[in-house]
Amino acid sequence: MVVVLAMLALQTATAKKTVVPRMYMFGFAASFGDTIVHFTDIQSVDSVWVESKNGFLLGRNLYSGQLHAYLTDGQQMPQRTCVVFYDQKRQRLEKKLLKMRRLYSVGRDGKVHYDMRHLADADFRFIAVDMSDPEEEELTVVKSGGQTPDAQKDEDKNTENTQKK
């Protein structure tokens, strides 16, 4: 049994990462404290990293973290549990989105129990996460301008210092 566990640990440690040119994803957010649920549109995200063996999206927690940050900072809605659904085929993901929306639209008693809110692409967009460096402790988010979060933090500090003067 120990040998099997060691082999599984070694196998997961050596999982190969590959870049998929395009992945489709949508986000879902809910809270245990209220009845508001959020759905994003299905979005196409370029240059997404996956495990080559099983197709798992790498950095899933970082993508859901993007949605969580948007809802917490931009919408003042903390305490949300955010999940990202993904697939390389848009049609399969559309079916999943329809199933999720049906689940939260009308209950079995015919009443609406959730306040469903739609996040349009203009409001929120997923940003590709760069998973190329396995030694890197803090993963960087690739933005359209190519700016890393650290560079953005430095820019924000400079702006803040300028405003204080």
Q: Which residues contact 140 (CB under 8 A, 6 or more apart)?
A: 129, 130, 148, 149, 150
pLDDT in tens, 38-59: 999 999 999 999 998 898 999 9
Reported pTM: 0.70
pLDDT in tens, 113-139: 899 999 999 999 999 998 886 544 344
Query: Mean pLDDT for the chain?
Result: 80
